Amino acid sequence: MKRLIVLLILLYSYLSYGITLHELIETAYSKNPELKSIQHRLKAIKERAIFESSLTDPIVSLSINDIQFDNPFKRNIEPMQTVMFTISQVFPYKGKLDLKKNIYLKLYDETFYKLLEKKLKFELKIKTLSYEYWFLKESLKILDQYKKVLKQIIKISQTLYSVGKAPQSDVLNSHIYLTDILEEEIVIKNRQKVIKTNIERIINDKLESDIQIDLPEPKPITNLKLLREEILQYNPQLKIIEKQLEKNRIQLKLAKKDYYPDFRGFFSYAYRDDFNDYISFGVSFNIPLWKKNRQDKKVLEIQYIKNSIEKKYKDKLIELFSLLEENYIQCKNSYEVYQILEQTLLKQSLQNFSSVVSEYKVGKRDMLTVLTALKKIISVERMKLKQIYLWNKYYANIQYITGKSLIRGISK
């Protein structure tokens, strides 16, 4: 019974407080099938690295030499008749196996940063959707708050109409605006359902409770230089290209090793009826005779790929710096607009509304003016919310560009 009570309390707590942004991201990290696919790929690459560092399997052969067609089963006619057992092993030129292994270790690192980049991309999507969900949720609170104010205005207009101090159109116009608010609430709630569906697709799980999130107010960002340095240090897209360059350098070393021969050692034992058995051993190796059309071309190919990767790195860096500056400016704009709304426009709108309602009560203003003033307050309040949402959205973009994660401790 006690356990049941504890479970009910935990369930109530979960349903009451909802799921946090941190929990959403952790769920995506653990359940998203695309991430799981890359994780299995990492395991495969690690096993492949061990495979590449090992010698190839030795080859064993058994042969019967000099079969006489007129008497194929007689094996003591002449010394050339043997039963031969041979074992051979290929030995690559010194250092080749280690280089092959290191290529896959660099591929492992490259794939790890691809996993990290994909995680950060999902994290950004979850943040962006959750932030919009917060904006819609807070908008509903604003609409509900001023819906109550509007209902008070409707009562005032009905009272004034009943005593002949206001036309019937005032009552009708106020009701029409109330209907508009109710309609907007329906649109917002439907959008919230769409957002939840999109989040469920990313985290590969059902959202049984509400999303619990609090967004900080916009604040100034001044450390643009530091953010550029963080891009160079942490951005996984750049790290992917860096690992490709490192892998390319190892591939170039391996290609140059092909100018030297690989060796094949062998050992043979020959059994002969009525004659002495004998043992043979030796070594064979390839000669890079056609190096101008093979080894040289392979080295050139890898060098051209290296040049291509270096250009790709520079292009990606320019793109990231440009995106950083764009989102930095957007954050700055949201902060400045928010300050104007918070410190000036909202206060003016509230004062204007209070004055218009007072004048309406004594017949100096009409209902359209009152509704316009109320709409202005709602508009400013929602604009404030939108600037909070936009600032956090652009700041999340900056975190994604720099490679910062909400979930710490991501390791190989």
- Domain range for 141: 116-258+294-402
Do the domain assignments include residue 54? no
Side chain identity, residue 201: R
Domain count, the chain: 1
Q: Is residue 330 part of a domain?
A: yes
pLDDT at 15: 44
In this structure, is residue 207 part of a structural domain? Answer: yes
Tell me if 328 sits within 8 A of 123, measured CB to CB: no
Residue 277 lies in a domain: no
Q: Looking at the domain assignment, is residue 129 inside a domain? A: yes
Q: Hey, is 396 helix, strand or coil? A: helix
- The enclosing domain of 211 has a CATH number of 1.20.1600.10
Tokens of 211: 């999303």
pLDDT at 373: 93
Q: Is residue 77 part of a domain?
A: no
Estimate to the nearest angstrom the gap between the alpha carbon of 38 and the chain centroid: 12
Q: Residue 275 has what pLDDT?
A: 80
pLDDT for 181 = 93
CA distances from 104 to 38, 97, 148, 245, 312 (A): 15, 11, 66, 13, 21
- Within-domain flag for 66: no
Structural domain contains residue 32: no
Q: At what angle do helices 33-52 and 21-31 cross, to 10 degrees?
A: 50
Q: Which two tokens stand for residue 306?
A: 């290296």
DSSP 285: E
What is the residue-level pLDDT of the chain in tens, covering all 412 positions? 545 444 444 444 444 468 999 999 999 999 999 999 999 999 999 999 999 999 999 999 998 877 776 666 666 667 777 888 999 999 999 999 999 999 999 999 999 999 999 999 999 999 999 999 999 999 999 999 999 999 999 998 898 888 888 888 888 988 999 999 999 999 999 999 999 999 999 999 998 889 999 999 999 988 899 999 999 999 999 999 999 999 999 999 999 999 999 999 999 998 888 788 888 899 999 888 888 999 999 999 999 999 999 999 999 999 999 999 999 999 999 999 999 999 999 999 999 999 999 988 888 888 899 999 999 999 999 999 999 999 999 999 999 999 987 655 454 5
Residue 393: the pLDDT is: 96
